[in-house]
Amino acid sequence: MIIFISGGSKSGKSKIAELWSSKLNSKGGRLVYLATMKPYDNEDLKRIEKHIENREKYNFITYEIHNNIENVVNNLNEDDTVLLDSVTSLVTNEMFSKEEVNFNVIDKILKGIYEISKSVKNLVVVSDYVFSDSIVYDKFTEGFRKNLGVINREIAIKSDIVCESLYENIIIYKGEELLKYEKLI
């Protein structure tokens, strides 16, 4: 099963994803956390520390993987529940990891995510919603937003459950009956 959770910054999406991953994993298997955020400043370090503290109670096995996410597949088992947090950081890392900006990251990222989803029992994917303002940005930011938007859309299409977190309130767009069946809500 694939669950896609989107939301704004600090909307509670990671907290919801951690809880749901834990509930999905109650039948066995490992609980795996794929942490993609690469810290660039003190605020990032504090956010990472908070995420580490929040997930301690769930006993996640954590892999820090900033790019080339497909490489983690060999470390996964078919009965694992995997939380990928977040697509936003993954896109950032893949686009801006070299001296030149790489705008062609969509296929690579989607391929990696799909390989993971085929290798495990459950995949919970977290991403940010960064599309609500009307500002026209520079070509790098617009390229980033376009890439993230396409990737989010494609993951949502393949997902069994799609929802948005808004201040820890959940708006369900797809899969409400499955959420209830799995006792996630």
Here the CATH number for the domain that contains residue 55 is 3.40.50.300
Whether 136 is covered by a domain: the verdict is: yes
**Model pLDDT, residue 87:** 98
What residue type is assigned to position 174 of the chain? K
**Model pLDDT, residue 45:** 85
Question: What is the domain extent for residue 37?
Answer: 25-181
66 catalytically annotated = no
Average pLDDT, the chain: 93
Average pLDDT over residues 135-154: 95
User: How many domains is the chain partitioned into structurally?
Assistant: 1
175 is in an annotated binding site: no
**Model pLDDT, residue 33:** 97
Of 4, 33, 51, 143, which is the active-site residue?
51
Whether 4 is covered by a domain: the verdict is: no
In this predicted model, what pLDDT tens digit does every residue of 43-89 receive, in sequence order? 888 888 887 887 788 999 999 999 999 999 999 999 999 999 999 99
Task: List 169's β-bridge partners, or say none.
Answer: 166
* Structure-block tokens of residue 113: 């995510």
pTM of the model: 0.93
Beta strands 2-7 and 122-128 are parallel
Task: List 83's β-bridge partners, or say none.
Answer: 33, 124
Residue 147 CA to residue 5 CA, distance in Å, equals 17
Whether 106 is covered by a domain: the verdict is: yes
**Model pLDDT, residue 55:** 79
What residue type is assigned to position 83 of the chain? L
Which residue would you say has higher pLDDT here, 100 or 94? 94
- CB atoms closer than 10 angstroms to residue 39: 13
174 is in an annotated binding site: no
180 is in an annotated binding site: no
**Model pLDDT, residue 63:** 95
**Model pLDDT, residue 69:** 96
Which residue carries 């820090």 as its tokens? 64
Whether 51 is covered by a domain: the verdict is: yes
Whether 127 is covered by a domain: the verdict is: yes
In this predicted model, what pLDDT tens digit does every residue of 11-50 receive, in sequence order? 999 999 999 999 999 878 999 999 999 888 888 888 888 8
Whether 77 is covered by a domain: the verdict is: yes
Nearest-CA neighbor of 86 among 158, 13, 170? 13
Look at residue 134 and tell me whether its pLDDT is greater than 90: no
Whether 132 is covered by a domain: the verdict is: yes
Whether 3 is covered by a domain: the verdict is: no
**Model pLDDT, residue 98:** 77
Q: At what angle do helices 87-95 and 139-158 cross, to 10 degrees?
A: 140
